[in-house]
């Protein structure tokens, strides 16, 4: 109990410190950004979240979160289980719509469009913001059809040659082409776990998104498959903005430019990945990355 109170005091102190920080990055921190330590803004922001609250029925899952995510940036969300990082990720392409009783307050804009606007059509939004899930979920179709599915429903290809081209280039980008080029007609579910996950990434790339959300993409994979996915992320960052939720701090350190630390539904600290891991400003972050809890 005591230590909790202590922590709260340190939290407040650290926050005040952050607010008073006068570094060039700390652009006008007003009331909106009070709870987060570090630089929440981005110089060329694409995704802008302001005072986001997410509720599951009565329960509040995210409170007062503000964050900007820049173009061609890889940002990773870390934090203990149940801290709301996956929930927040799903709000970015409105996948939380499929969860009954989920409610979002605040504002999230992507390229200056409010994605929670009543009149917004989620179909183009999700085509623009692709998502890869924790557990590989290829469709029960052939490898070819899995990749061709997105282009088909969005009309991105019109004849067989175009489809072939999209399928090949997506599988190449996902680093899977060499392994599956001779068995494109076999079911995607017959691949190994790591291959399935790369197939899901290829499927997402095929619709040519600008932002890719990854929800713990390696947690169901072995170390070799994980290494392949991480290498893939490093290649993909040239073309896409990537938001990745991960439980592995090493992974966050390896793949991302920026890292955000979540704790109990709050965004506690965000900053350059190197800074976060070498010089965490918030005591909660420090506790987590040094393995004292979480």
Partner 1 sequence: MSPSVLLLTLLALSFAGYQTGKRRSLKIAGGKISELHSLPSFYGLYASLWCLIPPLFIVVVWLSLESSWLANSVISGLPENLKVQSNSDRYVTLNDIKNVVSGTTLGTQTDPAILNAAEHYRDLQQISRGLLSVIAIALALAGIYFSSRRINKNHRARNAVERVMTGAMVLCSTIAIFTTIGIVSSVLFEAIQFFKSVPVTDFLFGLDWSPQTAMRADQVGSSGAFGAVPLFTGTLLVSLIAMIVAVPVGLMSAIYLSEFASPGFRAAAKPALEILAGIPTVVYGFFAALTVAPFVRDLGQQFGLTVSSESALAAGLVMGVMIIPFVSSLSDDVMNAVPQALRDGAYALGATQAETIRQVIFPAALPGIVGSILLAVSRAIGETMILVMAAGLAANLTFNPFEAVTTVTVQIVTLLVGDQEFDSPKTLAAFALGLVLFIVTLILNVYALHIVRKYREHYE
208 binds partner 1 (CB under 8 A): no
The answer to whether 140 contacts partner 1 (rule: CB under 8 A) is yes
Check residue 194 for interaction with partner 1 (CB under 8 A).
no
How many residues belong to the site for partner 1 (CB under 8 A)? 28
CA–CA distance, 130 with 76 (Å, rounded to integer): 16
Is 203 an interacting residue with respect to partner 1 (CB under 8 A)?
A: yes
Among 20, 23, 98, 161, contact with partner 1 (rule: CB under 8 A): 98
Query: Interface with partner 1 by CB under 8 A: which range of 5-13, 15-23, 44-52, 148-156?
Result: 148-156
Candidates 24-32, 131-139, 175-183, 270-278: pick the segment binding partner 1 (CB under 8 A): 131-139
Q: Residue 210: is it exposed, middle or buried by C-beta count within 10 angstroms (0-12/13-18/19+)?
A: middle
Q: Taking a C-beta distance cutoff of 8 angstroms, is the pair 234, 253 a contact?
A: no
| Minimum distance from residue 239 beta carbon to partner 1 (Å) | 18
Q: Is residue 139 part of the contact set for partner 1 (CB under 8 A)? A: yes
User: Are the C-beta atoms of 244 and 50 separated by less than 8 Å?
Assistant: no
By C-beta, is 127 or 227 nearer to partner 1? 127
Which one of residues 21, 26, 125, 264 is an interface residue with partner 1 (CB under 8 A)? 125
Of the two residues 130 and 271, which places its CB atom closer to partner 1 in the complex? 130
Rounded distance between C-alpha atoms, residue 183 and residue 143, angstroms: 8
173 binds partner 1 per the rule CB under 8 A: no
The two tokens of residue 196 are 């399935």
147: nearest Cα among 123, 96, 98, 181: 181
Residue 68 and residue 46: Cα distance in Å, rounded? 7
Closest CA to 175 of 155, 151, 200: 200
For the beta carbon of residue 1, count every other beta carbon within 10 angstroms.
Answer: 5
Least spacing, CB of residue 124 vs partner 1, in Å? 7
List 60, 137, 169, 257, residue binding partner 1 (CB under 8 A)? 137
């Amino acid at each position: 109990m005591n230590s909790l109170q202590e922590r709260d005091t340190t939290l407040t102190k650290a926050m005040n410190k952050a607010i008073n920080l006068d570094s060039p990055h700390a652009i006008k921190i007003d009331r909106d950004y009070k709870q987060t330590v570090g630089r929440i803004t981005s110089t060329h922001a694409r995704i802008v979240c302001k005072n986001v609250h997410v509720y599951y029925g009565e329960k509040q899952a995210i409170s007062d979160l503000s964050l900007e995510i820049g173009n061609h940036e890889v940002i990773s969300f870390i934090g203990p289980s149940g801290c709301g990082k996956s929930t927040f990720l799903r709000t970015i392409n409105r996948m939380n719509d499929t969860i009954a009783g989920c409610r979002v307050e605040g504002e999230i804009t992507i390229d200056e469009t409010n994605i929670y606007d009543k009149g917004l059509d989620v179909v183009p939004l999700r085509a623009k913001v692709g998502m890869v899930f924790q557990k590989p979920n290829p469709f029960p179709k052939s490898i070819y059809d899995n990749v061709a599915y997105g282009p088909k429903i969005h009309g991105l290809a019109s004849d067989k040659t175009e489809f072939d081209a999209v399928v090949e280039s997506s599988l190449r980008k996902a680093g899977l082409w060499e392994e599956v080029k001779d068995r494109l007609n076999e079911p995607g579910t017959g691949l190994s776990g790591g291959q399935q996950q790369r197939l899901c990434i290829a499927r997402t790339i095929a619709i040519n998104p600008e932002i890719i959300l990854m929800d713990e993409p390696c947690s169901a994979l072995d170390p070799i498959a994980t290494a392949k996915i991480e290498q893939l992320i490093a290649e993909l960052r040239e073309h896409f903005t990537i938001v990745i939720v991960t439980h592995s701090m090493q992974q966050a350190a390896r793949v991302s430019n920026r890292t955000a630390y979540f704790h109990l539904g709050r965004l506690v600290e965000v900053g350059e990945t190197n800074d976060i891991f070498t010089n965490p400003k918030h005591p909660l972050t420090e506790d987590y990355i040094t393995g004292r809890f979480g």
